[in-house]
Amino acid sequence: MKPPIVRLLPQGECGIVVELGSSIDVVVNRRVVALAGAIAGELAGKIVEVVPTYRSLLVVFDPLRVSRAALARKIRALAARAGGRADRRPTPERRRVVEIPVVYGGDHGPDLEFVAGVAGLTPLEVVAIHSSCTYRVHMLGFTPGFPYLGGMSGQIAAPRLEVPRERVPSGSVGIAGEQTGIYPIESPGGWRLIGRTPLRLFDPDRQEPFLVAAGDEIRFAPIDPEEWERFQEGSR
């Protein structure tokens, strides 16, 4: 199999951006996630941080422990190895699927009816479509733990708000174009809000602050307001 094209770009004094493709693509993102894991595992102690994105990753290194040139050679070797593995779909044992309970509509999803209107569907049909898909976490960004998800049906695509909200509640589930995502903390935002989860996607007091990571898969599970309250009580 032809090895992936790898482009290395300097990022400041202690960083390298590794580009593995030029478009948003599941195969490219698998390569990114596989390479991020390989770098973190084989270069522990020399690497400060590895940040995967849709089609690239940022490698922040300790210049006292590894030179930029030596790191670049190692990254290219790891990319060739990880790329071949990533082109094969991960086995079920290695896939991590996270179920996200969501209350759709009402105060928790004030834009659900708008999305339904744009799609020419009923709100219940939008919920059924949104909760029937399995979504890949391509990357985290924007705010701590915000997952950019791939796999949403184009049937329920909707435009962003013309004027973003100043405050979007934590846990809000939104749609923007053909993407869906979850706001992990209260923040400004311009996505159309269709629901909200009681789960905390980001908690700095947890041993692992982020609930999901790049490469994980997410499924949304509709719940009613009473179940929401039980989730809230259980997390106190």
Domain 7-86 identical in fold to domain 96-234: no
Distance CA(140)–CA(138), nearest Å, equals: 7
Nearest to 220 by CA among 165, 149, 164: 149
Domain 96-234 homologous superfamily, CATH: Cyclophilin-like (2.40.100.10)
Give the pTM.
Answer: 0.86
Mean pLDDT lowest among 84-88, 93-97, 192-196, 231-235? 84-88
Fold annotation for 7-86:
Gyrase A; domain 2 (3.30.1360)
| pLDDT band with cut points at 50, 70 and 90 for residue 80 | confident
Give tens-digit pLDDT for 135-165.
999 999 999 999 999 999 999 999 999 999 9
State the average pLDDT for the chain: 91
pLDDT at residue 57 above 90?
Answer: yes
pLDDT in tens, 106-135: 999 999 999 999 999 999 999 999 999 999
DSSP result, 160-182: PPSS-EEEE-TTEEEEEBTEEEE
For the chain, what percent of residues have pLDDT higher than 70? 91
Domains in the chain: boundaries: 7-86, 96-234
E strands, the chain, in order: 7-10, 15-19, 47-52, 56-61, 97-104, 135-140, 147-150, 165-168, 172-176, 179-182, 187-189, 192-196, 217-222
Mapped onto helix, strand or coil, the DSSP state of residue 104 is strand
Say if residues 230 and 146 touch (Cβ distance below 8 Å): no
